Amino acid sequence: MSILLVNDQVSFNDLKQLLELTDGNLASHLINLEENGYIKVHKGFIGRKTNTTYSISKAGQKAFAEHIEALEVMIKGVK
């Protein structure tokens, strides 16, 4: 999610390379994030090749910020 937070959109292949995941592993994570409304999927073509890119949704931004905040609370030991 942090990759999508700092980029307008990222292609499947770039995510796969950055995260060092297999196609199937990355695809299953992306499907889960999309089904929960955290990311947006954009399908298109570059020439004759399909090109799928991903971007973070408003709900994804909010959920990620809440997750980071919860981690900070755990680290600091504050409630």
Domain segments of the chain: what residues? 2-76
* Block residue for tokens 């592993």: 25
39 vs 27: CA distance, rounded Å: 13
Name the CATH architecture for the domain at 2-76. Answer: Orthogonal Bundle (1.10)
Token pair of 74, please?
A: 């755990």
pLDDT, tens digit (0-9, with 9 covering 90-100), for 28-56? 999 999 999 999 999 999 899 999 999 99
Taking the model in full, what pTM does it have? Answer: 0.85
Confidence of residue 78 (pLDDT cuts 50, 70, 90): low
φ, ψ dihedrals at 30, nearest 5° = -65, -40
* Cα angle value 30/17/26 (rounded, 5°): 20
Token pair of 53, please?
A: 């890119």
User: Which whole number is the average pLDDT over 18-23?
Assistant: 96
% of the chain with per-residue pLDDT over 90: 94
